[in-house]
Amino acid sequence: MANTDKAQPVKSAQAAHETRGQSAKKSNQQKKSSLKSCNSTAIKVRDWSDDGSNEVDASYMRQAMLLAENAQAIGEVPVGAIVVVDSLIIGQGYNQSITTHDPSAHAEMLAMREAAKNLQNYRLVDATLYVTLEPCPMCAGLLVHGRVKRIVFGAYDQKTGATGTVMNLVQHASLNHKIEVTGGCLQDECSAQISDFFKQRRRQKKS
């Protein structure tokens, strides 16, 4: 009996360990499932060339690129954004995080703030946002919350792209609003604008 009594706690400990292991395995499976669900929506992102290379989109993107030049002029990563409703530009912005010491001062954030003020409404239900670089997770969350109808971006962001490249927050199945996305509008020009900036900055650091 003594041996049996001593063995019982060991058996209980083993059972508890197995239970924890099963719970951890289940949790990991749920995380993987969630990530899979998030990324699987990326197929809903349309490439600009598949949309017939819409010249209207190209025109607005060129204006966003001009704003990006303002960012570059003050040492910011050259990203520009505009918000359009009924063919009118109601908001615009360019990266200012470094100069304003504000991590939220991305081009999309500033353009959305201005647009919301002009509309006197934090919901931009009929708006299209044009931005030269694919939005990051922070900006993607803002766009969902602001009920933007459509996003058109230029360069794909392989590191933090949150509208289809790394993840797809704006079409996530669990969220209460989903946004139409067109990527790659003037992709080569937008990508060159950003890569040229970083090449120049590396040269300056070496000199």
pLDDT digits (tens, 9 = 90+) for 114-129: 999 999 999 999 999 9
* pLDDT per residue as tens digits for the range 47-82: 766 665 688 999 999 999 999 999 999 999 999 999
Note whether 164 and 181 are within 8 A (CB): yes
Q: Tell me, what DSSP letter sits at residue 131?
A: E
Is 185 annotated to bind a ligand? Reply is: no
The whole model's pTM is what?
0.76
Is 38 annotated to bind a ligand? Reply is: no
Note whether 41 and 172 are within 8 A (CB): yes
Q: What would the mean pLDDT of 161-178 be, rounded to a whole number?
A: 93
Q: Which of 171, 167, 165 is nearest to 153 (CA)?
A: 165
Q: Which of 47, 46, 38 is nearest to 168 (CA)?
A: 38
- Which residues are part of the catalytic machinery? 108
